[in-house]
């Protein structure tokens, strides 16, 4: 019996079925079967051209979605069912993700009926846009639980494609779930499930077809929205939380439909009348309306006050138009004043003793710019540094740091007159590149993932990027810093322009060669690492296809396997686990330390005996220390496909590689994390990616850029085999 049955159903609308079946054939899964409930000859012929293993269930033209799903499910033999509409798609590796997660659920304990996962959306003008569902999925975690304990899951996009159903559950409720109204079926599946679980990764591509390419909807079809909720709300009896959420969704959808759809007047009145009755009939006891205008709309709907609601709408439109006009005038006036001030400042001479520094979108003194500024104070004290820092971060600056707040008058005057502008990202588009000013781009990592123009073929990564504006910013660069020749080649490919590449190393990595045993001990003391314990830094990267941070390992279980003498330092976008979490005890005992907000990250590396990461560029920096690195690559195929990469990390890793949590734990328990094989692999990685990092990168950059010394007189790069990294924690305490 296969673990998963992928049931593709529907007509071959606009020819998308072939793409879907091609993607399934490109990533076959032994523990899954593909069934195509093909509606019409075109769908049938398309399905029959694919692999012989595909089961085709031919259905006549005009067969509805519900009937097609039922016909496909009748042929399925899998433990779980995933219904995929023929117009939609599946990200690479999606079937494997679902099969593995459902197998995990089957082995974990009480049966789970519905598995929910994230999705991306493709339209006729955009590709693979991330959904807003990820945060809700992440908040629930990975354990199966009753819907009443996670009622907010009803707010997920109601698609059958972003959930898998246990086959036995489908068979028990097939009649109630068989409706052509997909949102109704999607909500009904949740409401009838005993337990649900989540997977915070995209495993479905929802394709929204251009409305003008579809048959027009009759105005009367809008009334079906009321019928949908009238059929769903009875399923929430005796479940207070799901009922409250579903009621809120109903009122929101009814109000939006009434406000946004241009319904004929008689139909509008009928819709409002029926919507009002539903709002009153199903209002939960003690329900409180939202504040503000939304609450007024809800009240008028419940009162059936059609005329007053229309008057309220008209007044709001008038008020919004007036406010928009005022905001536009203020914005134009402010822009004119700012532009005038900036243009006047640009007419002044460039100040050769003024340098502007910024890092990570104005977060503060950090990264390569910070290391360069520190060396500048030593070698060129006549050049005055000014940092660009956001208003929220200004209070965190080191005492005495001269700084400007973005958007202020001094900010624009400083940017206009400074000789040197250094950043590890880009300065804003309006910043003008003066001929006698120097723009230094330091970057903030060695690229494994695709960057710059190379993201154009990876929509999940390129979401919102304006590539024309990016090219305009790149053209302002005079210098681009590299830590290795790989980076130099990739920067010149991803950011094509006429800047000069500085193969000098990353200044922020100098500390890995200049730090002393006392520095290592001090870093561990500041972090609270008990003496004699092995500190493992867990630092996963951000994924463009996920919202927020969901640990890809069970930290409590991992800490338990690693034993009493190991401390996990967890570096992530945010931490998780409430008062009842098993991690609470680990934190109290010192076995787990949340370092997500700890800066600088270089201190974390100095304090750690080993690094565990996935695809984060921290691995390239940490390799300078010549300490063990373990790669946890459980979703490498998904990451490589959605984000794009420059090389195969699994073929050229910096140490041992784990594909599962069990493998990760075994690498540490067995001692493989620091054995001879790991050391040899790390040595090859260091030679390639620590090529120019030798402890004197900042000096080379300052002398070349700020003091204008020729390349041939700069300190030469020391060969990797001749370098001595900072002492390990074990050496520092010997």
pLDDT digits (tens, 9 = 90+) for 506-532: 999 999 999 999 999 999 999 989 888
Find the mean pLDDT for residues 285-299: 87
Give the CB-side neighbour count of residue 54, counting CA atoms within 13 A.
Answer: 26
Q: Is residue 544 part of a domain?
A: yes
Find the mean pLDDT for residues 284-300: 88
Where does the pLDDT of residue 337 fall: very low under 50, low under 70, confident under 90, or very high at 90 and above? low
Q: 3-state DSSP call for residue 122?
A: strand
- How is the chain split among helix, strand and coil, in percent rounded to 5? 50, 15, 35
Where does the pLDDT of residue 329 fall: very low under 50, low under 70, confident under 90, or very high at 90 and above? confident
Residues 166 and 25 in one domain: yes
Give the CB-side neighbour count of residue 338, counting CA atoms within 13 A.
Answer: 14
Q: Is residue 310 part of a domain?
A: no
Q: Give the pLDDT of residue 261.
A: 74
Q: Give the pLDDT of residue 463.
A: 67
Largest CA distance in the chain: 86
Q: Is residue 715 part of a domain?
A: no
Find the mean pLDDT for residues 75-100: 94
For residues 645 and 654, give the distance between their C-alpha atoms in angstroms, rounded to a whole number. Answer: 16
Residues 532 and 495 in one domain: no
**Residues 13-49: tens digit of each pLDDT:** 877 898 899 888 877 888 899 999 999 998 999 899 8
Q: Give the pLDDT of residue 331.
A: 64
Residues 185 and 134 in one domain: yes
Q: What is the mean pLDDT of the chain?
A: 90
Residues 477 and 560 in one domain: no
Q: 3-state DSSP call for residue 434?
A: coil
Q: Is the dihedral of CA 54, 57, 62, 67 positive or negative?
A: negative
Residues 499 and 514 in one domain: no
For residues 559 and 551, give the distance between their C-alpha atoms in angstroms, rounded to a whole number. Answer: 13
**Residues 248-258: tens digit of each pLDDT:** 999 999 998 88
CATH label of the domain that carries residue 464: 3.40.50.11820
For residues 595 and 598, give the distance between their C-alpha atoms in angstroms, rounded to a whole number. Answer: 5
More confident residue, 194 or 123: 194
Mean pLDDT lowest for which of 256-265, 370-379, 414-423, 688-697?
256-265
Q: Please state, as a whole number, how many other Cβ atoms lie within 10 Å of the Cβ of residue 399.
A: 4
CATH label of the domain that carries residue 78: 3.90.550.10
> What is the token pair recorded at 85?
């509409």
CATH label of the domain that carries residue 655: 3.40.50.12580
Own/partner pairs, 531-535, CB within 8 angstroms, 24+ separation: 531/733, 532/565, 532/733, 533/565, 533/566, 533/567, 533/590, 534/565, 534/566, 534/567, 534/609, 534/610, 535/566, 535/567, 535/569, 535/607, 535/608, 535/609, 535/610, 535/729
Total domain count for the chain?
4
Q: Give the pLDDT of residue 574.
A: 34
Where does the pLDDT of residue 333 fall: very low under 50, low under 70, confident under 90, or very high at 90 and above? low
Mean pLDDT lowest for which of 355-359, 367-371, 434-438, 640-644?
640-644
Residues 40 and 154 in one domain: yes
pLDDT over 80 at 703, yes or no: yes
pLDDT over 80 at 575, yes or no: no
pLDDT over 90 at 84, yes or no: yes
Q: Is residue 325 part of a domain?
A: no
Residues 155 and 66 in one domain: yes
Residues 6+ apart with CB under 8 A from 596: 570, 571, 572, 573, 574, 575
For residues 620 and 642, give the distance between their C-alpha atoms in angstroms, rounded to a whole number. Answer: 22
Residues 471 and 522 in one domain: no
Where does the pLDDT of residue 238 fall: very low under 50, low under 70, confident under 90, or very high at 90 and above? confident
For residues 442 and 538, give the distance between their C-alpha atoms in angstroms, rounded to a whole number. Answer: 25
For residues 470 and 441, give the distance between their C-alpha atoms in angstroms, rounded to a whole number. Answer: 13
Residues 64 and 204 in one domain: yes
Q: Which of 474, 506, 538 is the last residue of a domain?
A: 506
Q: Give the pLDDT of residue 339.
A: 77
Query: Which residues make beta-bridge pairs with 74?
Result: none
For residues 235 and 194, give the distance between their C-alpha atoms in angstroms, rounded to a whole number. Answer: 12
Q: Please state, as a whole number, how many other Cβ atoms lie within 10 Å of the Cβ of residue 208.
A: 14
For residues 634 and 639, give the distance between their C-alpha atoms in angstroms, rounded to a whole number. Answer: 10
For residues 494 and 486, give the distance between their C-alpha atoms in angstroms, rounded to a whole number. Answer: 12
Q: Give the pLDDT of residue 573.
A: 42
Find the mean pLDDT for residues 312-326: 79
Residues 546 and 665 in one domain: yes
Q: Which of 481, 506, 531 is the last residue of a domain?
A: 506
Q: Do 661 and 685 contact (CB within 8 A), yes or no?
A: no
The conformation of residue 442, written as its DSSP 8-state character, comes to -
pLDDT over 70 at 583, yes or no: no
> What is the token pair recorded at 524?
């561990």
Where does the pLDDT of residue 336 fall: very low under 50, low under 70, confident under 90, or very high at 90 and above? low
> What is the token pair recorded at 74?
């009748």
For residues 361 and 393, give the distance between their C-alpha atoms in angstroms, rounded to a whole number. Answer: 11
Q: Give the pLDDT of residue 210.
A: 76
Percent of the chain with pLDDT over 70: 94
Helix (H) or strand (E) holding 611: strand 610-613
Q: Is residue 345 part of a domain?
A: no
Q: Is residue 344 part of a domain?
A: no
| pTM exceeds 0.75 for this model | no
pLDDT over 70 at 460, yes or no: no
pLDDT over 90 at 191, yes or no: yes
Nearest to 306 by CA among 343, 259, 261, 347: 259
Residues 93 and 136 in one domain: yes
Query: Which residues make beta-bridge pairs with 535?
Result: 567
Mean pLDDT lowest for which of 118-122, 548-552, 638-642?
548-552
Give the range of the structural domain holding residue 289, as residue numbers without chain letter: 225-304
Before 600, cis peptide (omega within 30)? yes
Helix (H) or strand (E) holding 254: helix 240-260
Please give the radius of gyration of the chain, using alpha carbons only, rounded to the nearest integer.
Answer: 30
Nearest to 696 by CA among 372, 435, 347: 372
Query: Which residues make beta-bridge pairs with 83?
Result: 7
Which residue, chain included where needed, has tokens 């209070």? Answer: 395
Q: Do 706 and 420 contact (CB within 8 A), yes or no?
A: yes
- Cα 117 to chain centroid distance, Å, stands at 14
Q: Please state, as a whole number, how many other Cβ atoms lie within 10 Å of the Cβ of residue 683.
A: 15
- Return the beta strands (E) in 591-660 as ranges: 592-594, 610-613, 629-632, 656-658
Q: Is residue 272 part of a domain?
A: yes
Q: Give the pLDDT of residue 30.
A: 83
Nearest to 576 by CA among 133, 202, 141: 141
Q: Is residue 402 part of a domain?
A: yes
Find the mean pLDDT for residues 689-709: 97
**Residues 633-655: tens digit of each pLDDT:** 998 998 888 888 989 999 999 99
Q: Give the pLDDT of residue 216.
A: 83
Find the mean pLDDT for residues 264-278: 92
The conformation of residue 484, written as its DSSP 8-state character, comes to S
Query: Which residues make beta-bridge pairs with 34?
Result: 6
Residues 293 and 408 in one domain: no
CA distances from 298 to 292, 302, 638 (A): 10, 6, 43
Q: Which of 476, 506, 536 is the last residue of a domain?
A: 506
């Amino acid at each position: 019996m296969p673990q998963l049955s992928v049931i593709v159903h529907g007509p071959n609308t606009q020819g998308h079925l072939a793409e879907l079946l091609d993607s399934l054939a490109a990533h076959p899964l032994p523990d899954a079967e593909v069934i195509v409930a093909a509606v019409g000859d075109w769908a049938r012929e398309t399905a029959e051209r694919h692999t012989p293993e595909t089961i085709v269930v031919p259905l006549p033209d005009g067969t509805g979605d519900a009937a097609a799903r039922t016909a496909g499910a009748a042929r399925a033999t899998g433990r779980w069912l995933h219904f995929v509409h023929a117009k939609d798609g599946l990200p690479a590796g999606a079937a494997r993700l679902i099969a593995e997660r459902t197998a995990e659920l089957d082995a974990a304990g009480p049966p789970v009926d519905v598995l929910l996962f994230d999705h991306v959306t493709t339209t006729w003008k955009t590709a693979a846009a991330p959904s807003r569902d990820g945060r809700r999925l992440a908040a629930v975690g990975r354990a199966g639980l009753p819907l009443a304990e996670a009622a907010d899951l009803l707010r997920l996009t109601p698609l059958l494609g972003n959930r898998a159903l246990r086959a036995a559950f489908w068979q028990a409720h097939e009649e109630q779930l068989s409706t052509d109204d997909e949102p109704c079926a999607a909500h009904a599946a949740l409401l009838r499930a005993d337990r649900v679980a989540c997977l915070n990764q995209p495993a479905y591509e929802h394709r929204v077809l251009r409305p003008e390419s579809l048959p027009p909807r009759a105005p009367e079809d809008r009334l079906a929205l009321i019928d949908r909720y009238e059929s769903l709300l009875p399923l929430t009896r005796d479940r207070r939380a799901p009922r409250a959420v579903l009621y809120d969704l109903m009122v929101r959808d009814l109000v939006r439909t009434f406000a946004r759809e241009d319904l004929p007047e008689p139909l509008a009145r009928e819709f409002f009348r029926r919507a009002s009755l539903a709002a009153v009939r199903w209002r939960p006891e003690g329900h409180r309306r939202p504040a503000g205008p939304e609450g007024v709309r809800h009240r008028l709907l419940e009162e059936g006050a059609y005329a007053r609601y229309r008057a309220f709408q008209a007044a709001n439109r008038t008020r919004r138009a007036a406010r928009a006009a005022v905001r536009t005038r203020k914005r134009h006036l402010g822009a004119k004043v700012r532009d005038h001030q900036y243009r006047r400042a640009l007419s002044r001479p460039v100040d050769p003793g003024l340098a502007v520094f910024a890092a990570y979108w104005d977060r503060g003194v950090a990264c390569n710019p910070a290391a360069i500024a520190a060396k500048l104070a030593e070698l060129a004290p006549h050049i005055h540094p000014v940092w660009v820092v956001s208003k929220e971060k200004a209070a965190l600056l080191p005492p005495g740091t001269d700084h400007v707040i973005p958007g202020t008058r001094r900010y624009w005057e400083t940017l206009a007159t400074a000789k040197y502008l250094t950043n590890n990202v880009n300065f804003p588009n309006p910043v003008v590149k003066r001929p006698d000013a120097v723009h230094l781009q330091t970057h903030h990592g060695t690229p494994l993932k695709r960057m710059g123009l190379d993201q154009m073929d990876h929509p999940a990564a390129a979401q919102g990027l304006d590539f024309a504006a990016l090219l305009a910013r790149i053209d302002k660069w005079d210098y681009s810093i590299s830590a290795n020749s790989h980076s130099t080649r990739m920067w010149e490919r991803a950011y094509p322009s006429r800047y000069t590449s500085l193969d000098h190393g990353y200044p922020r990595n100098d500390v890995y060669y200049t730090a002393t045993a006392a520095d290592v001990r001090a870093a561990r003391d500041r972090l609270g690492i008990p003496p004699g314990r092995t500190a493992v830094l867990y630092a996963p990267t951000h994924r463009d296809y996920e919202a927020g941070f969901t640990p890809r390992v069970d930290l409590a279980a991992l800490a338990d396997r690693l034993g009493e003498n190991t401390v996990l330092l967890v570096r992530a976008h945010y931490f998780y686990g409430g008062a009842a979490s098993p991690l609470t005890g680990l934190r109290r005992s010192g076995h787990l330390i949340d370092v997500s907000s700890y800066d600088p990250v270089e201190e974390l590396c100095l304090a750690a005996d080993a690094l565990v990461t996935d695809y984060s560029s921290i691995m390239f920096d940490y390799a300078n220390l010549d300490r063990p690195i373990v790669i946890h690559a459980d979703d490498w195929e998904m990451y490589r496909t959605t984000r794009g990469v420059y090389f195969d990390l699994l073929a050229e890793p910096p140490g041992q590689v784990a594909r599962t949590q069990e493998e990760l734990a075994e690498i540490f328990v067995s001692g493989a994390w620091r054995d001879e094989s790991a050391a040899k692999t790390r040595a090859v990685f260091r030679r390639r990616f620590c090529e120019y990092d030798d402890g004197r990168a900042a000096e080379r950059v300052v002398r070349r850029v700020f003091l204008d010394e020729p390349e041939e007189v700069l300190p030469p790069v020391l060969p990797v085999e001749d370098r001595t990294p900072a002492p390990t924690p074990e050496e520092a305490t010997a």
